[in-house]
Amino acid sequence: MEIKLDNSDNIISKTDLQGNISYVNARFTEISEYSETELLGKPHNILRHELMPKAVFELLWKRIKEGQELFAYVVNKTANNNFYWVLAHISPVVDETKNIIAFQSIRRRANPLALDTIKPLYKEMLELEKKGNTESSIAFLDSILAEENVSYDQFVSDLQTKR
């Protein structure tokens, strides 16, 4: 069953450099249907839904390890096998000397009109991953971006503001 987020929802988490959860807010636990105890210390991919292409996570990890932020549409699964779509803003956390010490993610409701584009895109990317590898999935995404003549960031931004 799909859990629908409200416009006011902010789901917040923080991980260590390996992606293990070190902080979650109360709304995260409510929506994920996990307790804080069940989440802390676990890999963030405990929430990974089978509808998420691996290529999106490769892009995500590449960008945040380089010290850049990333916005991405993500479908997560809950402890009870429900699911919810979000627009995730993932960014590195740096110390006073600019060393990356953690990662944080703030997720909010995904624009339903954006999902009309994202769902078939992710479905095609998953099919390519099943047939080959993540490189073919990334190449497909890159071809869509080239066809639209936009960067990944602009693509996501345009979808979120779609009316």
Q: pLDDT (tens digit, 9 = 90+) per residue, 22-46? A: 999 999 999 999 999 999 999 999 9
Is the predicted pLDDT of residue 145 greater than 90, yes or no?
A: yes
- What was the pLDDT predicted at 149? 97
pTM to 2 decimals?
0.94
Domain ranges of the chain: 11-160
Looking at CATH, the fold of the domain delimited by 11-160 is given as: Beta-Lactamase (3.30.450)
Is the predicted pLDDT of residue 133 greater than 90, yes or no?
A: no
Is the predicted pLDDT of residue 17 greater than 90, yes or no?
A: yes
Closest CA to 85 of 75, 71, 95: 75
Is the predicted pLDDT of residue 125 greater than 90, yes or no?
A: yes
- At residue 12 the predicted structure's pLDDT band, cuts being 50, 70 and 90, is very high
| Cα-to-chain-centroid distance, residue 34 | 18
Encoded tokens for 5: 């987020």
